[in-house]
Structure 1
């Protein structure tokens, strides 16, 4: 069976775009993208870097290019290499015979890779374009499997490669039949499932909790009609193929462990044991009078559970490595095997549509009220951390690949608690957009659509609507945020915390009143907005208009600003930035 690509080939479009930019004079180091690399022919440099004459055959080049092409073939979507251009844009060209090179790459990859090699003329320079689409099986070069991450080829283990390939093919491993049946279900796992359902409190969860063990498992859609469990059912109710979760507790970094939870068995039992251990170690904090909270934890229990469950559900279960949970003081770090999938990365993880690695497993955990059906729970972690004054979760992909989630807790911020208690409507406490904007303003002083879009992880139009909605929120009857004074008509609006909100967050906002911090904030404003006036500075920093003028004059004398007009006279005088936004 063959499939026809609808529309232009994305890889060919990238090749064409890169060639056009090279033709326009751009250097490859400035334009290389994930799927297209640009290189000079290896082995053509002599002593002192002088270019040597080319030839139709170059064994050193073939060996080097075989490794690069194998790397690109192992990369999702494949890739291309444009040969004959130095990194600084110098057009060296190549005399290599395309048929010889194609055959030599095939030989050096043990007959696994047949690249498309074609000649391209760029003005009077002869180049070669080597193209490979994504490999069906991993291609080794010199015994190693590599794929492309950003603009580098890095080694990857076969399990991770196959897992990624399986996910991209749309096959849900967790929905496939296992070797277990309903007879293998562990009654302890059934009881734990009931505990989580009863704790959820909603009517549907209570109804599921009262079902028989067999009916409960069937209603989670993890068992076939003949009683065979799916892989999701086997994981949850029978046991993981290797140790799934490894929890370690230390009171201080580098200290001896005071508790460790590590073992096999049903995934539900492993999650429960780690959940209980983390709760027992989570310090209770007594909040001063005046707040409805009374007692809080150093780490939000819901955020902790979300991190643990995410590390269990969205990890790569083809890997034998466990999900590690390091609970050190008031910090929890969850590291799970398998990188980001489906276009998710730290820059969009809050708002990206759900792309579960294992949909059946994710849906079963959602039915048990342990995971979020619509997403991956990151927004809930963000909400629960920010609403008590902690920073949001730090989420990164590290070598392996692994996904690392760090929750940094501590004593709740009394000022944030006071602000949220005074905010109207009450939903401010659960509004992730509002909490992110409050945190940004308390640290950076101002925000506009351009600054808010990456913070909220939304497109500009949605970001503008969110800011307008937040501008309608109140604190003890006063606005929560207010438009910045001095912004010229026709320019995009910008916002700061209102004076009443700043008064409540006095400690947090005090940093903006430190002289060096004021300078940084004013320069950031000028560079981002393209201009700055004394009215804007006065409203942004709280300085008087004369003091704001003196600050701008000092920045001009230091070479950071220049007058917007030579006369310096008249209403609306402003400065422009001399240096660009770094």
Structure 2
């Protein structure tokens, strides 16, 4: 084919047009970064149409092109091309119906109807005698929408389609694109430096992911097409650093992952150093961890006859921890991700601090802000990472569901460290959780916030609003919404008019905390201990008012807790008298 304006048609578009001309249908050649559109005013059914109907058809097409441009800009690849003048379903030369639309009209329509204004490049080319238009959507640096705020995203869902974005997806895309992205810069090597077996593995991984998730979309057959699909190429064909990190072998002396296995605490470790592309290093690391820690440590037999094995470290927690370490590490810093494993603990340390805007007390609630957004997007497209790049909530949930404490996270300016503790699973809690889900709804055991509350109440008599907010890392409004939902379902009951809750009698029985007919009440002493553990200071009069007892009785309880080493008089207040305050010892 020849070029009307002496512009070189990108290879992936030229290959697709060649395939269509040779007998394929255009829709079979579409990808995450390539879409074909027919001009309805030039289709065979509209040749004899009136000028009015042709104008209406063109106007409708322009609206579709605006939507497609927005969808491509918001996709994981963040870029793409739309070819106008090709029939989707018609194979061979007959598909080249052409278009009389002007480049300026398309560019102006997309610019004026998007927010922020999206500047596309529109070029006319000749395809076997038909005038075609190629609309290039440049790599997006922001979230794009129509002027009324409507925004969609192109996805590989069977045949590539546009889907409305949720509010969480909008925030995630917007925040990720506003931050500088080292992985989106040009790589130090070229596409020709990539190893063919690694490219083949990337293609296999993408195919398996789409088959597993029911996506029927075709997989690009060329290396450039695959890299473009993954968002790993600049428009001029140069590779991005994300492509180098994901697909290129590092220098022989550069270690991507250092894995240390100790069969006994303090013993010299067996060391495995992995110097491979992340695409190969990640599954190899997971296999090493599973080989040493995948064996079950407990087996749970549920009332309905189901049996479940509890692994030393839950697969989902491991997947999230190691994937996050490789995606979110600071790739500008030297040094590998270090994984240290014993029979009881798994410690993953990645170079660099937490991403900007993320702190330890917001790990569960901060919107996703990946440090390496382009790398993250490519791994999501391959199915190697979840839709949400946060990951911590899934680590928390998988540990609690298997009756273990949540992970320990340490963050400094030099590194981020996640520690999973195998522990001895609380089998009765796992069984009780299944009973609660069967009685009150699966959401009770699917919500990480609900799981956190239930895990706390597994050993504590009550939970306060302050504790709910701290442990779930949510706002006051969100915390109260959660607790109101659990009360409404019958899982919890409130403590009088206070912002405090405890397990309902039925929940206590389901969790194995109450015998048949036992009344589930919170004792005064338990209430006092829970308040003190929550960091509050109490006076005898407050305890007496809550429990309906005398201040002398309340004072006796507080002194008893002092004798047990669980309470003490606040040294910042008076040592005796009515104003004495008691705090946790």
Structure 2 length normalisation: TM-score?
Answer: 0.58
Q: Which has the higher contact order (CA 8 A, sep 6+)?
A: 2
Going from structure 1 to structure 2, the CA distance change for 1:252 and 1:209 (only over 3 Å counts) comes to farther
Counterpart for residue 425 of structure 1 = 441
> How do 1:74-93 and structure 2 match up within 5 A?
none
Going from structure 1 to structure 2, the CA distance change for 1:416 and 1:554 (only over 3 Å counts) comes to closer
Counterpart for residue 356 of structure 2 = 342
Counterpart for residue 221 of structure 1 = 231
1:371 aligns with 2:397: no
Give 3-state SS (helix, strand or coil) of 1:270's partner: helix
1:273 aligns with 2:279: no
Q: Distance in 1 between matches of 2:282 and 2:182?
A: 21
Counterpart for residue 452 of structure 2 = 436
Counterpart for residue 471 of structure 1 = 487
Shift of 1:311: 0.7
**Which among 398, 401, 406 is matched to residue 392 of structure 1?**
406
Shift of 1:286: 4.5
Question: Deviations for 1:424-473, whole angstroms, at most 9, x for unmatched residues?
Answer: 21122220010111122223322222221111111111111111112234
Counterpart for residue 84 of structure 2 = none
Question: Deviations for 1:388-446, whole angstroms, at most 9, x for unmatched residues?
Answer: 11111111113x51101111124432122112211221122220010111122223322
Shift of 1:383: 0.9
Give the gaps of 5 or more residues in structure 2: 1-175, 516-520, 571-577
Question: Deviations for 1:170-192, whole angstroms, at most 9, x for unmatched residues?
Answer: 43111111133332333443454
1:186 aligns with 2:195: yes
How many residues get paired? 383
**Which among 338, 344, 365 is matched to residue 324 of structure 1?**
338
**Which among 442, 452, 455 is matched to residue 471 of structure 2?**
455
Shift of 1:482: 1.4
Question: Deviations for 1:129-162, whole angstroms, at most 9, x for unmatched residues?
Answer: xxxxxxxxxxxxxxxxxxxxxxxxxxxxxxxxxx
Give 3-state SS (helix, strand or coil) of 1:316's partner: coil
Shift of 1:209: 6.2
Shift of 1:326: 0.7
Question: Deviations for 1:282-306, whole angstroms, at most 9, x for unmatched residues?
Answer: 2223513226352231111111011
Q: Distance in 1 between matches of 2:487 and 2:343?
A: 38
Give 3-state SS (helix, strand or coil) of 1:232's partner: helix
Shift of 1:365: 1.4
Counterpart for residue 298 of structure 1 = 312
Counterpart for residue 241 of structure 2 = 231
Cα RMSD (Å) of the superposition? Answer: 3.8
Q: Distance in 1 between matches of 2:390 and 2:464?
A: 28
Going from structure 1 to structure 2, the CA distance change for 1:532 and 1:395 (only over 3 Å counts) comes to same
Q: Distance in 1 between matches of 2:246 and 2:542?
A: 59
Counterpart for residue 497 of structure 1 = 503
**Which among 401, 423, 427 is matched to residue 414 of structure 2?**
401
Give 3-state SS (helix, strand or coil) of 1:372's partner: coil
**Which among 242, 259, 262 is matched to residue 250 of structure 1?**
262
Q: Distance in 1 between matches of 2:360 and 2:307?
A: 31
Question: Deviations for 1:374-396, whole angstroms, at most 9, x for unmatched residues?
Answer: 33211111111111111111111
Going from structure 1 to structure 2, the CA distance change for 1:326 and 1:210 (only over 3 Å counts) comes to farther
Q: Distance in 1 between matches of 2:210 and 2:266?
A: 37
Q: Distance in 2 between matches of 1:499 and 1:329?
A: 38
> How do 1:145-156 and structure 2 match up within 5 A?
none
Going from structure 1 to structure 2, the CA distance change for 1:524 and 1:248 (only over 3 Å counts) comes to closer
1:445 aligns with 2:456: no
Give the gaps of 5 or more residues in structure 1: 1-166, 474-478, 539-544, 563-574
Contact kept in structure 2, 1:186 and 1:266, CA below 8 Å: no
Counterpart for residue 481 of structure 1 = 492
Going from structure 1 to structure 2, the CA distance change for 1:554 and 1:339 (only over 3 Å counts) comes to same
Question: Deviations for 1:257-294, whole angstroms, at most 9, x for unmatched residues?
Answer: 34x33121211111111011111212223513226352
Counterpart for residue 171 of structure 1 = 180
| Greater mean deviation of Cα atoms: 521-530 or 337-346 | 521-530
Contact kept in structure 2, 1:283 and 1:330, CA below 8 Å: no
Q: Distance in 2 between matches of 1:299 and 1:452?
A: 26
Shift of 1:308: 0.6
1:359 aligns with 2:373: yes
Q: Distance in 1 between matches of 2:349 and 2:384?
A: 19
Going from structure 1 to structure 2, the CA distance change for 1:285 and 1:383 (only over 3 Å counts) comes to same
Q: Distance in 2 between matches of 1:257 and 1:182?
A: 38
Shift of 1:370: 2.1
Q: Distance in 1 between matches of 2:189 and 2:514?
A: 56
Contact kept in structure 2, 1:560 and 1:577, CA below 8 Å: no
Going from structure 1 to structure 2, the CA distance change for 1:240 and 1:309 (only over 3 Å counts) comes to farther
Q: Distance in 2 between matches of 1:197 and 1:314?
A: 25
Shift of 1:319: 1.2
